[in-house]
Amino acid sequence: MHLMIESMILIAKEAALQRAKSNSDILAAYLTGSLLDNDPFLGGSADIDLVFAHAQEPTVRREILSLTPEIHLDIKHNPRREYNPPRELRLHPWLGPEAYDPLLIYESGHFFQFLQAGLRDKFHEPVNTLLRSRRNAEHARQMCNGLQVPAETGPALVLKYLKAVNHAANAVAILNGKPLAERRLLLQFPARAEAAGIPALSAGLLALLGAQNMDLSSLAGFLPEWEKDFLEAAGSPGVEARIHPARLGYYKKAFESLLGGENPQALLWPFIHTWSLAVAVLPPESLTAWKSACQQLGLVGAAFKARLQQLDHYLDSIEELLDKMAAANGV
C-alpha cells in the first residue's frame, strides 16, 4: 500500500506542475485529504484531493478526473480572495484546517509561505479552535431555524437538513482535528465525540439520520436503486460535482466494505447524502425509491418534524459543550 500511496502523490505532483506550467494564474497547488494520513483507501477505492489557488476567479470550481475505476483526482479551484486575509483563516472551519498543513506541491511568489505565516499563528489556541467550532454550530442553527415542514418533502429540503447535520457534526469534530470527510464521517465521529467529552453525541448523530429505523438488509436492498439514480444523474446539468461517473466505484466499493465491516451503520451518511444530491436533478417520477428510503429514515413526511426537533436538541447539546469549554479556558 505504501508504494501505491507514493504513486498517487507522484500523480498529484505531476498533474499540478503541468497545470502550473501552462497557467500563470495558478498561485499554489497543494495536496490534502486522507492521502496525507496514509489511509486513503476504503473498499479498495480512493481519491486524490488536489487544490489549486488562483489569482483570479477560476472558471471551474471542481473537477473530477478518472485515473482507474477505483482511483480519481478530485481537484478544487479556489480564488485568491478566499484566502484573504490569511489571519482570518484561523477562524474558518473548513479552509483554515485544509490550508494549515497540506503537502505543498507548487507556489509562485511565496504566496503560500505568506499565507501560512498568518494562518498558523495561534491557530491551535483554544479561543480560535472554539471560534471555528462555533461558526459551524451557528451555521447549523441558522439552517435548522430556517427549515419548515411542508406538505411534501423533496430532495432540496432533505439536503438542507443534511447540510445542517453535517455542520453540527463537524462543529464537534474540529475541536480535535480536521473536518471529517464524507465517506468516513460516521466512522471517525465517535472518536471525536469521545475526545470532546460527550460520547453520546455519536448515537445522537445516528439518530438524526434515522439509523434506528432501518435494518441493514433494507439498507443494502436500496443500493441498486441508489446506483441507478447516481448513474442517471451523473453528468446532468446542475448536478453537484461529486455526483460524477468516475466516483461511482469510489462510493460503491466503500459502501460494500462498510456493510461487511464492524460498523455498517457508517454507510448511512454517504449513502443518503449522495443519493439526495443525485435525485435533486432527476424528474419527480424518478424519486420513488429515494422517497421510500427517506420514509423509513424519517426524513420525509410527518416524521420529518421529529427529526427537526431532534436536531434542535442536538444543537443545544453542542452549544452547551462549547460554552463549558469556553468557560474552562477563560475565553
What is the per-residue pLDDT across 50-77, written as a single tens digit (0 to 9) for each? 999 999 999 999 999 999 999 999 999 9
**pLDDT value for 165:** 98
The CA distance from 71 to 6, in Å, is 14
The CA distance from 174 to 242, in Å, is 23
| SS3 state of residue 78 | strand
| SS3 state of residue 104 | strand
Model pLDDT for residues 160-181, shown as the tens digit of each residue = 999 999 999 999 999 999 999 9
**pLDDT value for 311:** 97
Q: What is the DSSP letter of 123?
A: T
Q: Enumerate the H helices of the chain as residue ranges.
A: 2-22, 95-100, 111-120, 126-146, 155-173, 185-196, 200-208, 216-221, 223-233, 248-259, 268-279, 288-297, 303-328
| SS3 state of residue 12 | helix
Stretch 96-101: mean pLDDT, rounded?
Answer: 96
From the list 276, 292, 282, the residue with the least C-alpha distance to 162 is 276
Stretch 234-251: mean pLDDT, rounded?
Answer: 95
Radius of gyration of the chain measured on its C-alpha atoms: 20
**pLDDT category of residue 214 using cuts at 50, 70 and 90:** confident
3 pLDDT higher than 80: no
The CA distance from 296 to 281, in Å, is 22
**pLDDT value for 331:** 83
Q: What is the mean pLDDT of the chain?
A: 95
The DSSP result for 49-69, as a single string, is: EEEEEESS--S-SEEEEESSS
Stretch 291-316: mean pLDDT, rounded?
Answer: 94
From the list 79, 174, 93, 96, the residue with the least C-alpha distance to 139 is 93
**Complete domains list, the chain, with CATH:** 2-120 (3.30.460.10), 126-321 (no CATH)
**pLDDT value for 125:** 96
Model pLDDT for residues 185-203, shown as the tens digit of each residue = 999 999 999 999 999 999 9
What is the amino acid identity at position 85? Answer: P
Bridge partners, 17 (sequence order): none
Q: How many CB atoms lie within 10 A of CB 74?
A: 22
Order of all β-strands in the sheet with 26-32: 62-66, 71-79, 46-54, 26-32, 103-107
The CA distance from 248 to 229, in Å, is 11
Stretch 30-53: mean pLDDT, rounded?
Answer: 95
Exposure pattern of 202-222 as b/e (b: 16+ CB <10 Å)?
bebbbbbbbbeebeeeebeeb
